[in-house]
Structure 1
Amino acid sequence: MRNTKKFIVIGAGVVTLLAGGGAAAYAAAAAPTSPAAPTAPKITAERAIELAHQQVQGAWVSEVDHDDSGEWEVELVKDAQVYEVTVDAASGKVTAHGAKQADKDDDANDDANDDKGGDRDDD
């Protein structure tokens, strides 16, 4: 009779462990996977600006953006030219560099055509 009680207790313990382990495995498999947390870029914005200034010396920075592809996009302005410099956020390598003419209808040039908020009637 003693051995029977031991087998029942041991059997119940084994069943409990298996059921608990199975439930834990099911919960882990059924849990939704969370997207990986974004990692901070190795190259800081300040360093990306320094690298962009090496490409376009004497320019001022008008915009800095870190995009989803892991690159810094630095926009610089010098002598009515807008330069776009792309810097890899992991390595610091300049991956793109280009210039375009600044818009004539830019906010800096709007003063001559600004009607100071009033309605303008050209009739």
Structure 2
Amino acid sequence: MRITKKFIVAGAGVVTLVAGGGAAVAATSAPAPKVTAEQAIEIAHKQVAGAWVSELDFDSQGTRADVWEIELTKGSQLHELKIDAATGKVTKNETERADKDDDDSDDD
């Protein structure tokens, strides 16, 4: 009975802390990142002015620094950035052409 109660309480905490997010188990034991999602988005927009955010994920990496993974779209370019969740430093900034036709689908 106690295990069930703990699971329900932990599950409610995960839903509260991670709104549709990835690493639910890590979210219950890890402290909140120093850099918020909003701050990470501001940092990303400074790197790629005029872009819109197409994806935002928090990646808890265990022994390595936690990062915000942000995908930005500007015109026909897709920018993938990783921002250190403790310092706000951009650790990755890659650009590729966005596929508008999605010809590489796995429906074959």
RMSD: 1.6
Where in structure 2 are the equivalents of 1:45-84 lying within 5 Å? 45-69=37-61, 70-84=66-80
1:93 aligned to 2:89?
yes
How far does the alpha carbon of each residue in 1:28-70 deviate from its partner, in whole angstroms, 9 at most, with x for none? Answer: xxxxxxx881211110000000000010000001010001221
Q: Structure 1 residue 103: deviation in Å?
A: 1.4
TM-score by length of 2: 0.62
Q: Structure 1 residue 85: deviation in Å?
A: 1.0
Quick one: distance in 2 between partners of 1:85 and 1:57? Answer: 13
Q: How many residues align?
A: 72
Quick one: distance in 2 between partners of 1:78 and 1:37? Answer: 36
SS at structure 2 position matched to 1:74: strand
**Structure 1 consecutive aligned stretches of length 4 or more whose deviation exceeds 6 Å:** none
TM-score by length of 1: 0.55
**Structure 1: runs of 5+ lacking an equivalent:** 1-34, 107-123
* More helix per residue: 1
2:93 maps to a residue whose letter is H
**Structure 2: runs of 5+ lacking an equivalent:** 1-25, 103-108
* More strand per residue: 2
Identity %: 56
Comparing both chains, which one has the higher relative contact order based on Cα–Cα distances under 8 Å and sequence gaps of 6 or more?
A: 2
Q: Structure 1 residue 105: deviation in Å?
A: 2.7
Q: Structure 1 residue 80: deviation in Å?
A: 0.9
Larger radius of gyration: 1
